[in-house]
Structure 1
Amino acid sequence: MRLMVKAPAKINLTLDVLYKRPDGYHEVEMVMTTIDLADRLTIEPLDENKIVLDCSVCFLPLDERNHVYQAAMLLKQQFNIDKGVRIYIDKQIPIAAGLAGGSSDAAATIRGLNQLWNLGMNMQEMADLGSRIGSDVPFCVYGGTALAKGRGERIELLSSPPPCWVILAKPPIGVSTAEVYGALKAEQFKDTGKSKQMMEAIYRKDFLAVCESLSNHLESVTLERYPEVRLIKEKMARFGADGVLMSGSGPTVFALTDKESRANRIYNGLRGFCKDVFAVRVLGGNNW
């Protein structure tokens, strides 16, 4: 039996940091949605009791540092599985981009192995296991559009946002999520953010209100440290985007527009400046 599992990227429409918790993590509220940019995983059983990873890119670790490996090992240990598995990752989502590529791959692995090994887990059980790998994995298990609370593990599903184009641009730099959160000062997240406002805009299917509600408390830190990210954001606005925001801790910036001609203008304007540029549609539903 061979399974093909889709692992879509996500963008943060909001990322509101509420406060720093006693356990060292930050309490957050985030509205996230999936987009039509995805890795694809091929999962097949092995006779030998081991986990074998392969990937379309040569610079991704294929051992216990990889979220896919961690997810497979977690399920083997949790359910006492003495079978092996081979997983091939067709990597399309840029790495370390703020798009949850690794988390989505882990979520796809959990969903796929749940089917391959007949584990019988429901969505909540898969999400709970995924939270042990990373904060974005529970959302990626569900997919679609959701409000994520806590560290990101408490998921409240939402309706899909209004249809629109998403143009993404990632500069050739890496950003450490831990470092960005660590540099965040209390005064930078004193306001309550815009997650409630965003949910209302999505409920009304009001595209302009969605654009006006975009918010990311981490953006000020990353923009200050990485001028390349600020420059991309400025260019997107200048090319006519209806809304522009950095996703996650960066460095990827995305632009929203409901006009295809404008999407093409933004995409073409950025291609000469940035290698990783994508023009995709917002998915919003469970399209894996």
Structure 2
Amino acid sequence: MRRNLDMLTVKAFAKINLALDVLYKRPDGYHEVAMVMQAVSLADTIILTSHPGDIVLNVNIPGLPDDASNLAYRAAALIKEYAGIQQGVLITLDKRIPLAAGLAGGSADAAAVLKGLNNLWELNLSLDKLSKLAAKLGSDVPFCLYNGTMLATGRGELLSPLPPLPKCYVILAKPAVEVPTAWVYQEFKADRVQVRPDIAAMSKFLEQGSIDGVAGNLANVLESVTIPAHPEIAKIKESMLKYGAMAALMSGSGPTVFGLAGCQKQAEVIASQLKTEGIPEVFVAETVSKVE
């Protein structure tokens, strides 16, 4: 986070799910989940500039909403109202995280705006208070405030820190499909799941610093919904493994697939091979193991 008088620049990091389990549907309509979430270095950049009027959002992607339907705008409106701030803010969003990708790009932007405006407006709100505000915006937003490696429960907003994933490189590949998260959860049927995550084992391997153990225990029950509808996701997983990834998994509700690699050179080779298969969006990132 960089501040210069009335302007501040914040990074909004993407996330992947090392483990994702759906336990049951709650009376409030949400699903109870247990997830091991990991921040990665693929990030949007947000510049916040003091503005005499109201909230103004500029985006770099045509068609991306620049009004109250954008989580970044809603985050600014929420903290502005909560703190009773009269001034406005110009939000400039340079988006690199793919849209509708299962990487929490919108949630990351919202979290970055909350953190940034807390600093720019000198509100001195604690991270815990910001997290409560973040939960009003979406289930992934609280995690995106903290980054690192976390166990998320409830509907995803209840967080417990886990030992950091040993530094490794992450290949991200998004096919040219969009998958609505609400549809995936609506279609989820527990009896279709073949492999459920072992959260206790994942936590143990993180504590041991075993990247091999983590790689061997990746699991996401939402693959049981998204992959039958979009078989190209399974093909990307197969390709990643064929080209040398330690493991591969769909992130969140999809459709992005991530693979783990021990070194940057190997990750870049895998990414290059995937691009030759015509996958439109392929990135190489590394794990983010500390609060930024």
Pick the TM interval, shorter chain: over 0.9
- AA aligned to 2:275 is R
1:34 maps to: 39
For residue 239 of structure 1, report the CA deviation from its aligned partner.
1.2
Distance of aligned partners of 1:241 and 1:30 in 2 relative to their CA distance in 1, 3 Å threshold: same
Q: What is the CA deviation profile of residues 184-214 of structure 1, one whole-angstrom value per residue up to 9, with x for unaligned ones?
A: 1132459762222111111111011000110
SS at match of 1:282: strand
| Corresponding residue pairs, total | 286
- AA aligned to 1:114 is N
Q: What is the CA deviation profile of residues 68-124 of structure 1, one whole-angstrom value per residue up to 9, with x for unaligned ones?
A: 110011112212211111000011111110001100000000001111112221111
1:203 maps to: 207
Q: Aligned partners of 1:169 and 1:126: how far apart in 2?
A: 31
For residue 22 of structure 1, report the CA deviation from its aligned partner.
1.1
- AA aligned to 2:189 is K
2:130 maps to: 126
Q: Aligned partners of 1:200 and 1:71: how far apart in 2?
A: 35
Q: Aligned partners of 1:189 and 1:276: how far apart in 2?
A: 28
61-70 or 159-168, which deviates more: 159-168
SS at match of 2:112: helix
Distance of aligned partners of 1:191 and 1:220 in 2 relative to their CA distance in 1, 3 Å threshold: closer
1:226 to 216, 230, 233: 230
Q: Aligned partners of 1:235 and 1:59: how far apart in 2?
A: 32
Q: What is the CA deviation profile of residues 231-286 of structure 1, one whole-angstrom value per residue up to 9, with x for unaligned ones?
A: 11111111121110000000000000114443233111101221210111111222
Matches within 5 A, 1:1-288: 1-48=6-53, 50-188=54-192, 193-272=197-276, 273-286=278-291, 288=292
2:3 maps to: none
Q: Aligned partners of 2:34 and 2:166: how far apart in 1?
A: 21
Identity of aligned residues (%): 47
Q: Is the 8 A contact 1:166 1:282 kept in 2?
A: yes
Q: Aligned partners of 2:272 and 2:33: how far apart in 1?
A: 35
Q: What is the CA deviation profile of residues 3-37 of structure 1, one whole-angstrom value per residue up to 9, with x for unaligned ones?
A: 00111111100111111111111100111111111
Q: Aligned partners of 1:190 and 1:207: how far apart in 2?
A: 23
- AA aligned to 2:89 is V
TM-score, normalised by the number of residues in structure 1: 0.96
Distance of aligned partners of 1:92 and 1:230 in 2 relative to their CA distance in 1, 3 Å threshold: same
TM-score, normalised by the number of residues in structure 2: 0.95
- Root-mean-square deviation over aligned CA pairs: 1.3
Q: Aligned partners of 2:127 and 2:192: how far apart in 1?
A: 35
- AA aligned to 1:246 is M
- AA aligned to 1:115 is N
For residue 181 of structure 1, report the CA deviation from its aligned partner.
0.6
For residue 144 of structure 1, report the CA deviation from its aligned partner.
1.1
